[in-house]
Amino acid sequence: MFLRMKKIIKYIITEQGVPVLFSCDMKHADVLQNGFVSAGFLVMRYDVAKSLFLVRCFGESSSLKVKSKLEADQKIIEEFLNC
């Protein structure tokens, strides 16, 4: 059984591999202007049976001029959320 968040969230992955998640009401560049390696959008769901967050990353940041690193970003964010 999954609980779904239907809202799209923005994210940035810092040079230190830390994900920063925030509202789509903000620009990526308003949150961080340097020290990033990727950025984009994500949709998250929660697997109740496994007690795990699952993430799907996509897109890019036009304000930072950087793309998502899809699977790598997903792994970083899932590890962060599930620890």
For residue range 23-36, list pLDDT tens digits in order.
999 999 999 999 99
- Segments forming the whole domain that contains residue 25: 2-82
Cα Rg, the chain, nearest whole Å: 12
Cα–Cα dist 4/83, whole Å: 20
Considering the chain, what is the average pLDDT of its residues?
93
The total number of structural domains in the chain stands at 1
CB 20 within 8 A of CB 10: no
Q: Which residues of the chain have pLDDT under 50?
A: none
Q: Name residue 5's amino acid.
A: M
Q: Are strands 60-61 and 19-22 parallel, antiparallel or unpaired?
A: unpaired
Model's pTM, two decimal places? 0.90
